[in-house]
Chains A and B, each alone.
Chain A
Amino acid sequence: MKTSSSQSVLFATAEVSLPSQPKRAKSPVSNGVVGMLIFMVTETMFFAALISAYLVIRAGLEEWPPWGQPRLPVETTAFNTVVLLASGLLMGYSRALLQKNNIQKGRRWLGISILLGAFFLISQGYEWLQLIKFGLTVSSSVYGGLFYLIIGAHGFHVVGTLAALIYAWNRLGADENPVTPEGLFPFQLLWYFVVCVWPILYVLVYLT
């Protein structure tokens, strides 16, 4: 890590050689975390836009869901929601372990969290296949379009985040060029985001 090394040099210079200088407070958050937080602002606005689009279109229609469209699988998805939330909790547990430098155990729980996330994804994919069979497609109605848009956008985020987490899981504690718990943390944050957005979408799209 080029920048982190040169930065630690920065701190050293400030403290060692120039005691009279106003000391720059060590940044409380690492580069990766700052970057990820800014990215999450954009993501929040992205999902906010999808949600408002959903509400605006829905408010403009008299019948919701439109006539002849299949009912969404509320119960199975409720189970999926629990699985995803459990995955988020385990991610937090693994983070706590990794922070205590318990790499082996943290890595194991990270793996289980990833597996639960993957289960969520596969189960959702299976649901989609069923729904398409029952005639709910993107072009069958604006209802279908919105369903696949919003749930698909979330699914896309699950895929992306899981890919990053699997990569990190594989390299965590590796002998060469390992991913450090600190390097992993931004992606864990992203996973919390993906997990926390889901219940909102579930209530909005499935329940109401």
Chain B
Amino acid sequence: MSQAATAVQTDTNAEHHEELSFLYKYILPTDHKIIAMQYIFTGMIMAVIGGYFAYAFRMQLAFPGELVPLYGLVGPGEYNMLVTNHGTIMIFWVAMPVLIAGFGNYIIPLMIGCDDMVFPRLNRLSYQIFLASTLVLILSFFVKGGGFGGAWTAYPPLSSVAEYSLTDWGASLWVLAVALEFVSFLLGGINFVTTTMNARAPGMKMMDIPIAVWFIVLAVILFMASVGPLIAGAVMLFMDQRIGTSFFLPSGGGDPLLWQHLFWFFGHPEVYVVLLPTLGIVADIITVFSRKKLFGYKTVLYTAFATGGLSFVVWAHHQFIAGIDPRMANVFVVTTVLISIPLAEMMFSYIATLYGGSIELKTPMLWALSFIAAFLIGGVTGIYLGASALDVYFHDSYFVLAHFHYTFFPITIIGMFAAITFWFPKMFGRMMNDTLGKIHFWGTFIPFNCIFLPLFFLGLAGQHRRIYNYNHFPDLATQELQNIRIFATVSLIVMLCFQLVFIYNFFVSMFKGKKAPDNPWNANTLEWSTPSPPPHGNFKTLPTVYRGAYEYSVPGREMDYWPQNEPPEES
């Protein structure tokens, strides 16, 4: 790099990255790293609330009608509110902010080698709207009538008529919170795509972009293309609730199925919106810890394109029993089963990456491997549910519930822990304790299976999802089934207790952990070429990229990794 160019760069850095006051550094930041932390911490706080709700309603299911310690009595309305908001929080306030907004914000500029997002102030606004939406959601738990209890899918007329839902303001605030959140991610998403398109480091071609960045950007594009209908639907639902329109009310000429279509047109791509970032993060982690090139970089990428495209034409598989035409259902069966092909291909690429690698079982790698294992079960059971003939029996049973927890838990919780344990040294400049990390891993992964595997059997026994006390149903109130429920609940409590290990490890390592080197995992991507934690402006000199992100164990090289920004040797 010529001296003149370096000098110019240093000047621009000095000009734009002066020390900021506390207020502008941490409360109103435009630095993508601080905004990312804001998202991640807000998401983690919401995860605690979501987990607490799960604890309360699982206790009610295991020991119906008894006082739940640390909560109190869970009545039927209360139960519905807990279940609804558990789902809402875990998807919209944990998976989305942590995986996409949080880690997207953190890793995109670092991995593509630029100093910040291209619209830093839009980024800040995005978080502020997100925070407002969080506060509105929390407020909705405390208004008269309590929080919304019409399930996270909010089917009308239950969600639109206060006489049915009994949560007049709870329902409206819920819709408002969700709509605000989407506006926030809309702004964030514009930023992500534009940054990745226009601000990559020189030399970084499309096919040099790490998979994690690619997948987050694809997820964002899916989100942007699918969220419009849901925003339209949310406006219509809000109008139905508050100003007396009847878009979704048959009595006034509306159509309740319309909401289901608008909701699931967004809702199904949304599954892939949260899935893709985790898949990308896992791809990066398994290549780093198997010291091997990612198997089929382009294949992995194209399967993601295929998944994204197909995800727009599968939505009606959520409505097989809602009264849609069986001929239409057949079409959606085909598309639904088709979508498992690219995803299976991607999984095989990951497994092929592991094959023959020198695998290091560090904590992030354990999480990444467990993601593949757990997601496999979720994917396989999904194929049964995608067939309309079977779905007629499985619909709204615990089989469905266990299925989507086997997809969402790996995506959200395992993906989040994988990402946090992997990038923690970069984020805070200190290493996490690996032993505690492994204890936390096993203490989470084993109970997770103990919670949800039995639920498949409950579903096969005919247990419906939306019942708060099975004692009222003689077929479901047998001691045998009750024992399974108690087992799942006890496993949940064990899992929640092990999260204390993580919280301890997280905060103690943040302040007292071993100092992290710049590149603790010997990884190739650009974020590891800058100090840990990266300074404001990320790079001392903006990096130049010479090769793809996955050049591990290249024959003829002394080191088994080859950073993207390391100049090729003069020949």
Contact = CB atoms under 8 A, between A and B. Distances in A.
Given A49-B262, A56-B258, A39 B253 contact: no
B246 to A, nearest CB: 5
A22 B229 contact: no
B253 A141 contact: yes
B233 to A, nearest CB: 7
Interface stretch (B150-158, B237-245, B280-288): B237-245
B253 A48 contact: no
Interface in A130-175: 138-139, 141-143, 145-146, 149, 153
A129 interface: no
A38 B193 contact: yes
B70 interface: no
Interface stretch (A3-11, A80-88, A105-113, A189-197): A3-11
Contacts of B228: 42-49
Contact of B542 (A10, A42, A141): A10
Interface in A15-41: 16-18, 21-24, 27, 29-31, 34-35, 38-39, 41
A12 B8 contact: yes
Interface string B533-571: 000000000101010000000000000000000000000
Chain B interface size band reads: 35 or more
A2 B544 CA distance: 20
Contacts of B115: 3, 6
Contacts of B4: 16
Contacts of A16: 2, 4-5
Contacts of A21: 202-203, 544, 546
B122 to A, nearest CB: 8
A12 B115 CA distance: 16
A9 B542 contact: yes
A24 B224 contact: no
Contacts of A3: 114-116, 118, 120, 199
A14 interface: yes
B512 interface: no
Contacts of A11: 202
A70 interface: no
B191 interface: yes
A138 B239 contact: yes
A57 B544 contact: no
A53 B119 contact: no
B339 interface: no
A154 to B, nearest CB: 12
Contacts of A44: 228
Given A35-B194, A57-B254, A57-B258, A139 B243 contact: yes
A125 interface: no
A35 B201 CA distance: 19
A18 B246 CA distance: 64
A60 interface: yes
A50 interface: yes
A66 interface: yes
A42 B201 contact: no
A13 interface: yes
B230 to A, nearest CB: 8
A10 B201 contact: yes
B191 A35 contact: yes
B236 interface: yes
Chain A interface SS verdict (over half): helix
Given A14-B544, A53-B262, A57-B258, A24 B202 contact: yes
A207 interface: no
Contacts of B225: 41-42, 45
Contacts of A149: 235-236, 239, 245, 247
A17 B194 contact: no
Interface string A94-122: 00000000000000000000000000000
A66 B203 CA distance: 62
A198 B482 CA distance: 59
Contact of A42 (B114, B227, B254, B262): B227
B198 interface: yes
Contacts of B193: 34-35, 38
A51 B245 CA distance: 17
Given A5-B12, A13-B9, A18 B1 contact: yes
Nearest to B193: A38
Contact of B9 (A2, A9, A39): A9
Contacts of A46: 228-229, 231-232
B197 interface: yes
A139 B245 contact: yes
A141 B245 CA distance: 7
B228 to A, nearest CB: 3
Given A35-B119, A35-B190, A9 B12 contact: yes
Given A13-B5, A38-B224, A27 B197 contact: yes
30 contacts: A3-B114, A3-B116, A6-B115, A7-B198, A10-B202, A11-B202, A12-B8, A14-B203, A16-B2, A17-B5, A18-B202, A23-B202, A24-B204, A31-B119, A42-B224, A44-B228, A45-B225, A45-B227, A46-B232, A47-B228, A50-B232, A53-B247, A56-B255, A56-B261, A57-B255, A66-B253, A138-B244, A142-B254, A149-B245, A153-B232
Interface of B: 1-2, 4-5, 8-9, 12, 16, 114-116, 118-120, 186, 189-191, 193-194, 197-205, 221, 224-229, 231-233, 235-236, 239, 243-247, 252-255, 258, 261-262, 265, 542, 544, 546
The 4 closest A-B pairs by CB, nearest first: A45-B228, A14-B202, A46-B228, A49-B229
Interface of A: 2-3, 5-7, 9-14, 16-18, 21-24, 27, 29-31, 34-35, 38-39, 41-50, 53, 56-57, 60-61, 66, 138-139, 141-143, 145-146, 149, 153
Given A141-B253, A145-B246, 17 more contacts: A3-B116, A6-B12, A6-B114, A18-B544, A21-B203, A22-B205, A24-B203, A31-B194, A35-B190, A39-B190, A42-B228, A49-B233, A61-B253, A142-B247, A149-B235, A149-B239, A153-B232
